């Protein structure tokens, strides 16, 4: 066994090293805790709206004045159609309530891509813009398709016309149920700037409810029909493609 002794001159270096290691561990723990916050089975979810087959739950979010929401709906559209919508980087304007601009950029693959969007807010509040990283995968535990989005505000210059959202975490879970799709949508966003409480509370319910009802409609448009979800040899989702019908 080799024993390493620390000389008096090394004590200061060792202290700095220990502090650095502790900081890294703390950061990793914080990141894990923040990610774990967005879970469907958290005990504090409270039903805020149940309407037209859509359930919206809200709850306090750790170290934030803004609540998180969970939306659950059984959409009258097949999974292939829903994923075709999600694969289109411009589709935010078609179904997300208040989304006025959307496009993708720096796409490495379907599983790892980036998107920019703008959300309209009532005057005189500044519209919010988002720069998001999108990660898509197939859950090994459930087999469901998962789509996670996180704010990466530094990847695009800030425009004076908008208030850049710097904290946004979203998780979609897509569950096929015959010709329908169950969608669970978890989200917590820090809208940045100063917003009136009534507006924040309204957004927590209005955006997911109106968006899900619109998604159900948009997914049945001709443009999103006739697609199939592709997978690799390990069963991981790799994309969505249009099926060519031969005569």
Residue 221: CB atoms within 10 A of its CB come to 13
Q: What is the pLDDT of residue 246?
A: 64
Give residue-wise pLDDT tens across range 36-52.
478 888 889 999 999 99
Q: What is the mean pLDDT of residues 123-129?
A: 90
Give residue-wise pLDDT tens across range 62-76.
888 889 999 999 999
Cα separation, 88 vs 72, whole angstroms: 22
Give residue-wise pLDDT tens across range 135-150.
999 999 999 999 999 9
Does residue 209 surpass a pLDDT of 50? yes
Mean pLDDT rounded to a whole number for the chain: 85
Q: What is the pLDDT of residue 41?
A: 86
Query: Higher confidence at residue 122 or residue 127?
Result: 127
Q: What is the CATH number of domain 42-229?
A: 3.30.530.20
DSSP secondary structure string for all residues of 32-60? HHHHHHS-TT-TT-EEEEEETTEEEEEE-
User: Within the chain, where are the H helices?
Assistant: 11-37, 79-87, 92-95, 197-218
Instruction: Give the three-class secondary structure for 24.
Output: helix
Cis peptide before 124 (omega within 30 of 0): yes
CB 173 within 8 A of CB 59: no
Q: What is the pLDDT of residue 21?
A: 35
């Amino acid at each position: 066994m080799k024993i390493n002794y620390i000389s008096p001159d090394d004590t200061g270096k060792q202290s700095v090293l220990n502090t650095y290691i502790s900081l890294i561990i703390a950061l990793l723990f914080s990141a894990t805790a923040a990610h774990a916050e967005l879970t469907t089975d958290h005990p504090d979810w409270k039903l805020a709206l149940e309407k037209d087959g859509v359930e919206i739950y809200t709850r306090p979010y750790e170290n934030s004045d803004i609540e998180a929401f969970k939306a659950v709906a059984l959409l009258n559209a097949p999974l292939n159609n829903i994923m075709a919508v999600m694969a289109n980087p411009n589709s935010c304007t078609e179904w997300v309530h208040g989304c006025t601009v959307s496009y993708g950029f720096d796409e490495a693959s379907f599983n790892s891509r980036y998107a920019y969007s703008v959300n309209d807010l009532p005057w005189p509040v500044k519209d919010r813009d988002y720069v998001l990283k999108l990660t898509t995968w197939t859950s090994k535990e459930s087999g469901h398709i998962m789509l996670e989005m996180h704010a990466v505000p530094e990847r695009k210059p800030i425009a004076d016309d908008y208030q850049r959202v710097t904290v946004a975490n979203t998780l979609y879970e897509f569950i096929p149920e015959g010709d329908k799709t169950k969608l669970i949508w978890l989200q917590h966003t820090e809208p940045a700037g100063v917003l009136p409480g009534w507006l924040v509370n309204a957004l927590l319910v209005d955006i997911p409810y109106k968006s899900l009802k619109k998604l159900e409609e948009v997914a049945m448009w001709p443009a999103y029909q006739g697609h199939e979800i592709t997978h690799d040899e390990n069963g991981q989702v790799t994309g969505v493609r249009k099926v060519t019908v031969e005569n």
